[in-house]
Amino acid sequence: MTKKIVIEPVTRIEGHGKVTILLNDAGNVDKARFHVTQVRGFEKFCEGRLFWEMPLITARICGICPVSHHLASAKAGDAILGVKLTPTAENLRRLIHMAQIVQSHALHFFYLASPDLLFGMDADPAKRNIMGLIAEMPEIAKKGVKIRAFGQKIIEMLGDKRVHPNAAIPGGMSKALSPDKRAEILSQVDGVIADCQFAIDLFKDYRAQHVEMVTNFADFDSAYLGLIDDKGNVEYYDGKLRLRGGDHFILEDNVAPENYLSVIEERVEDWTYLKFPYYKKLGYPGGMYRVGPLGRLNVADGCTTPLANKEFQNFKGLGGNGVVQGSLYYHYARLIEMLNCAEEIKSLVEDELICGKDIWVKSSHISDEGIGVIEAPRGTLFHHYWVEQSGKIRKVNLIVATGNNNLAMNRAVYEVAREFIKDGRLTEGILNRVEVAIRCYDPCLSCSSHALGHMPLEITICEPDGNVRQVLRN
């Protein structure tokens, strides 16, 4: 006999989600399920479209990281055309991509996650949000706005719009960067790098005061997936896939992105629309892996830029074997990446090549298949298209970052629930912690789980016959 606890709404993963906790006869947690209850359907309705339309169509999948879908789609188009980009075009794509990671990570840390850390997880939800931060710590909030605005500005420079930009096309880019815009980026980038370092110090101060909690919160063993460059450094735009186990053992290395199906399979469950990717050789669900900032830093051997690499070495030291598994460390990894990308922006823009005019390669060749893989802010993103010779799409497969983390998010909720539900009794604070655990993974729903003045989470405890025994709301 089982009892069911439902936490809902956990809204906006570009739709709606909810959490159900199933108890066993003893009143302890048997299973935790994170449901995504809205189907998006992009894979289906893109069929019949032309592959060169896809960068603009698929960017609409997400309003937070449209650049990632835009670029992964353009990369799939490059593969269909069989072209290699010009150096300027590749650098422009890297620039807009780094800008997106900077703005997305700043949004997440300053607007969504930092109130949990700065006010404490048990602080009044009316205060524990961006408005509370603005009221009580405006200097911190201001840095968040400025870092994010810097990234958004670059996206707009290259893609004309801050959301859903029109920048990349199969074979290159549609627009060059003018020298005055390059100068504008250069004039601001050092300030942004300093603000990224400030954010890292903020997290490290918090960790120093809560070492045990930060280390143990939703801490569990899993594998990790991410792209690496030819030296084993964290790579966001291109590179090869590496899968590392929680024991530091490398399970797969230097896998060409187009061979991703040799490593990953997907499972469908009847209680959620979000699929469950897993590592094939370990099976389902044992092949759970994590992506995103924690995944990328755990698989890599270093960062490409000096300040970020120094922090990376410090990060690696937190895991006994060089693998850091506590979910709250996602925030630290995210901030290191934000610094890494800000430094990368500086490096890209210091090179005059970025203003080159040779940004597009023509091709009349059309392959029947193309795969584009990129590291989106939330993790590895796969776009796989099968096309006809006319360029019409026959079939689409998308594996998005939040999907890659699906098993892990379920596990994180389970870990938190197990700690806070004993013998059928809920300990005070479970709502906040379930929310914080999900937020570590930065799925799109993290925005709305941070309501202002009213937390949209609710736990309903149901008797085995379905009758509601207790309802808890924040």
Partner 1 sequence: MAQELAREIRDENIDVRDVSVDGLNLLELIVGYDRLVVIDAIMTEVGEVGEIYRIKPENVCAPSCSAISPHHFNLATTIEIGKKLFPMEMPEEVTVFAVGTREVARVTEEMTSKVKEAIPKVVNLVLEQVDPTNKYRDAGHALDSNIPSNCHRKPQNNACQR
Q: What letter represents residue 391's amino acid?
A: G
- Answer yes or no whether residue 135 interacts with partner 1 by CB under 8 A: yes
CB nearer to partner 1: give 130 or 169. Answer: 130
CB nearer to partner 1: give 134 or 366. Answer: 134
CB nearer to partner 1: give 110 or 441. Answer: 110
The CA–CA distances, whole Å, from 392 to 48, 310, 388 equal 5, 47, 5
Name residues contacting partner 1, limited to 145-174 (CB under 8 A): 145, 148-149, 152-153, 162-163
**If we measure between CA atoms, which residue out of 452, 451, 420 comes closest to residue 437?**
420
Instruction: Find the part of the chain contacting partner 1 (CB under 8 A) among 13-21, 94-102, 132-140, 324-332.
Output: 132-140
Name residues contacting partner 1, limited to 389-448 (CB under 8 A): 447-448
3-state secondary structure of 312: helix
HSE-CB for 15 with a 13 A CA cutoff: 14
The one among 5, 80, 98, 112 contacting partner 1 by CB under 8 A? 112
In angstroms, the CA 459 to CA 373 distance is 38
CB nearer to partner 1: give 136 or 350. Answer: 136
- Answer yes or no whether residue 318 interacts with partner 1 by CB under 8 A: no
The one among 44, 84, 124, 138 contacting partner 1 by CB under 8 A? 138
Minimum CB distance to partner 1, residue 42 (Å): 17
DSSP string, 61-88: G-SSSHHHHHHHHHHHHHHHHT----HH
Contact 250, 258 (CB under 8 A): no
Minimum CB distance to partner 1, residue 27 (Å): 34
The one among 453, 463, 464, 471 contacting partner 1 by CB under 8 A? 453
**Residues near 138 by Cβ (< 8 Å), separated by ≥ 6?**
none
- Answer yes or no whether residue 452 interacts with partner 1 by CB under 8 A: yes
In angstroms, the CA 278 to CA 123 distance is 36
The dihedrals phi and psi of 149, each to the nearest 5 degrees, come to -65, -35
Instruction: Find the part of the chain contacting partner 1 (CB under 8 A) among 24-32, 73-81, 141-149, 395-403.
Output: 141-149
Structure tokens at 452: 């202002």
Instruction: Find the part of the chain contacting partner 1 (CB under 8 A) among 138-146, 202-210, 393-401, 435-443.
Output: 138-146
Name residues contacting partner 1, limited to 15-74 (CB under 8 A): 63
Determine the distance from the C-alpha atom of residue 411 to the mean position of all C-alpha atoms in its chain, rounded to a whole number.
Answer: 17
Minimum CB distance to partner 1, residue 139 (Å): 9
205-297-404-341 Cα dihedral, nearest 10 degrees: 80
Summarize as ranges the residues that interact with partner 1 (CB under 8 A).
Answer: 12, 63, 107, 111-112, 130-131, 134-135, 138, 141-142, 145, 148-149, 152-153, 162-163, 447-448, 450-453, 456
